[in-house]
Structure 1
Amino acid sequence: MSHQLPVECINEVFEYLDDDKINLRSCLLVNRPWCKSAVRILWKDIWNFRYSVDYMPYRTHVPFAIISTLISCLPDESKDFLNKNGIFISTPTPKPPLFNYASFIKILSINRLDEMIQHILKNKQSTNSLSLDYNKHLIAQEIIKMFMNQIPSLKRLYYWNNFTNIPFNIHFTYFHGARDCLIDLSELCCSSDVYPEFFYQLSQICHNLQSLTIEFRDSISNGLADFISVQKNLKDLNLLSFGTKDWTDIIPPLRKLSNTLIKLNVHGGENDVPMLFITTYSNLQELTLIGQISFEELQYVILPKLKILKIPAERPKDEILIKFLENNGKNLRELNIDGIDNSLRESIVQICPNLKKIY
């Protein structure tokens, strides 16, 4: 009499292999229940392979295998649409796919998808640069349309605007099924210059992000402030400045995050980043500051629940740091400060009685 583990147990065990792609691939060959469980995890995030298109040399078959499998999952009307536009990408088998692979995806990177499609089209010798951009847009459009319809609940979305790679904006928030797909989105990583309609539409759908990362460029989309202002449960905020644009327009919505935010990471750019917006963050527990930061504004800020402070580069003047720690060091457990000498270390230890780790 044979005994098999329940599917729920197999799924639970395989979750621990999330980062072990090699062993997960081996599990595909055991039996159908193992195969189904392993496939579900392998396809949860198909953009993080170490041999992706960012790495040279890389396994060139991987982008083709992923895109061709996704093409095989497209509905017939999408396949016909691509064929009518002269786009023919071979699929792994003429038979229907064993699984609805698109439905397993939990993480979506618009940029990785774009890079994979471009890699495939560039290898088609008959494709010129003009038709490459157009064909890339059509393929991406149909695949993302399928994602919005087939993914029950997307958890993480990456969308970095890159004009050299993404020639057309795909308004995928209007596709059928987009609301159900995106309503429980928990993490968004994007650039500040993504087209405004993306943020406006997402503001109508997604109100419960847990984590938000914004890379600030030389322009800030008109819809970004509205999107930030409707978030009700944001815990983790990462603000990365790589342009010259100031943040004046988004300071008011940033202040509205005061009740929920517990982790803040600010990476300053060419200009000093204004920091007074954090005065309302009474529940903040972890603060990381890197680069050009207006430290003078911080010395009188009160963060009663702060436990972790990281300033790994370009730390403030000693007197500013000491004043900040006098106000916020009582509950501090961990401190990472660039260039601490013995004298400053002794002062910090006296101010922060509960400090467990300093480096």
Structure 2
Amino acid sequence: MPCQLPADCLNEIFEYLEEDKSALHSCLCSIAYQHRPRISLKILSTLVACLPDESKEILYKNSILISTPTSNPPLFNYPVFCKILSINDICQIIHMGLNIKSSTSLSLKSRNCLVINEFIKMFMNQISALKKLIYISTIKFYYQLSQTCHNLQLLAIDFEPKPVSNELKGLISSQKNLKNLSLSAFDGGDWTDILSSLIKHSNTLTKLYLNSDNGNLPLSFVASFPNLQQVELSFFFGGVYSKIFERLQYATFPKLQILNIPDDFPEPEYHNNVLNLSIAELCPNLKKLFVIFNDDELDTLRTIFNSCRYLESIKFNCGQGFIIEKEILEIIAKHSPENFYELKIYNNSDSNLFPEDLENFFISWKSRTSKKSLSLIIIKDYEYNSLEVNEENMEIINHYKNSGVINFKIREYDDDDN
């Protein structure tokens, strides 16, 4: 018998469970089915059970026979509660599931397209608050989405070297609460044509990711988004960072919390105390930070800690030419803000941190008024010896770990770089 709980009540339940990914990952449409045929068939059967009678009749007339889990209606009408929809995953589920069982005389392509179309119609007609859509799309599909999907919060677009369609511009403009935007342009692709559509979201956008191998992009438009909390700039060609800082040097982002430039460094004329000091001046609300500190920038690091009082996490490159570990620990002990709790260290040469330096730091941390445990994370480079290689260091780390003063982890890469 179908569930009789009101839809608003079910929405509350799914929203709560969605916060715990181990309990429920965005209802049915974000299930990690691991591309296994049997699992795909089970998901496919459940989706078929949710199809409206008209769609079931179309499949039946084309001899596409997919059994449902039971003869009764589903306990929940899953499409209504879907928040994250991956069209590509749906296509993969259909492809793998129908490869196991199908009696139709249609060609493989025609059969799959027919089923995909019916599923997409079902989701588009029933989803009331889609937050994230993943699809490598067509112009026609952009138009259909712009007519039905107005509540997307995350939009990721990859540009090809051809004009941006009006349909895509319409999809962007039709959103009411766009918060997270990812733009990637390769092989000459350009997002210039959609800037007028993006500016409409200047008050709602909080996360921005720009990725390109094209140096002729109008980056000054980033300054139009004063509420940005997270920015990532990833460009794969020489000289671009000098252009970025030239175009954005007068922009102010008072709510910025995370700034990530993972793939390159600014040109030498920008990579100095002026750049790092500008972070302290213009980004007082930062929570996470990874920038390069040279070995002569201790005062700059102190200034950042004193100015960015909400800073919770910082990542350092340590070693030859960079600020050394002992000095980092001394400054963190004396100047890090109350909310600070996470230190990441990547060594580009052998660590020379002595046990007494490490213990003095842990003693200072233990006496802090905030009493937060320190999360100490070593990003491992197997070409060099980091601090955990020293057995005495590990004895001290384990002692303070067991007493709850610190948490200690060793990683092969930084999760924030993915």
TM-score, normalization by structure 2: 0.59
Q: CA deviation at 1:228?
A: 2.9
Distance 1:309 1:316 in 2: 14
Matched with 1:190 is none
Q: Secondary structure at 1:90's aligned position in 2?
A: coil
Q: CA RMSD in A?
A: 3.5
From 111, 125, 129, the counterpart of 1:135: 111
From 42, 46, 71, the counterpart of 2:28: 46
Asked if the contact 1:239/1:266 (under 8 Å) is kept, the reply is yes
Letter in 2 for 1:121: L
Aligned runs of 1:1-359 on 2, under 5 Å? 11=13, 15=17, 18-21=20-23, 44-53=26-35, 58=36, 60-124=37-101, 131-151=107-127, 153-161=128-136, 194-219=137-162, 220-269=164-213, 271=215, 273-292=217-236, 294-299=240-245, 300-305=249-254, 306-322=256-272, 323-330=274-281, 331=284, 333-334=286-287, 336-337=289-290, 339-344=292-297, 346-347=299-300, 349-350=302-303, 353-355=306-308, 356=311, 357-359=313-315
Identify if the C-alpha distance between structure 1 residues 269 and 122 changes in structure 2 by more than 3 Å, giving closer, same or farther: farther
Moved more, 119-128 or 279-288: 119-128
Q: CA deviation at 1:353?
A: 4.1
Identify if the C-alpha distance between structure 1 residues 93 and 315 changes in structure 2 by more than 3 Å, giving closer, same or farther: same
Gap runs ≥5 in structure 2: 1-7, 316-418
Q: Secondary structure at 2:155's aligned position in 1?
A: strand
Q: Secondary structure at 1:223's aligned position in 2?
A: helix
Matched with 2:343 is none
Q: CA deviation at 1:315?
A: 1.9
Identify if the C-alpha distance between structure 1 residues 292 and 49 changes in structure 2 by more than 3 Å, giving closer, same or farther: same
Identify if the C-alpha distance between structure 1 residues 281 and 86 changes in structure 2 by more than 3 Å, giving closer, same or farther: same
Distance 2:253 2:85 in 1: 37
Gap runs ≥5 in structure 1: 1-6, 22-40, 162-193
Matched with 1:171 is none
Identify if the C-alpha distance between structure 1 residues 226 and 126 changes in structure 2 by more than 3 Å, giving closer, same or farther: closer
Q: CA deviation at 1:207?
A: 4.8
Q: CA deviation at 1:314?
A: 0.6
Letter in 1 for 2:242: E
Runs ≥4 residues deviating over 6 A: 7-10, 125-128
Q: CA deviation at 1:204?
A: 4.8
Distance 2:108 2:205 in 1: 43
TM-score, normalization by structure 1: 0.68
Question: Which of structures 1 and 2 has the bigger CA Rg?
Answer: 2
Q: CA deviation at 1:280?
A: 2.2
Identify if the C-alpha distance between structure 1 residues 290 and 334 changes in structure 2 by more than 3 Å, giving closer, same or farther: farther
Asked if the contact 2:178/2:204 (under 8 Å) is kept, the reply is yes
Distance 2:182 2:271 in 1: 22
**Number of residue pairs the alignment of both structures matches:** 294
Q: CA deviation at 1:114?
A: 0.6
Identity of aligned pairs, percent? 37
Q: Secondary structure at 1:79's aligned position in 2?
A: helix
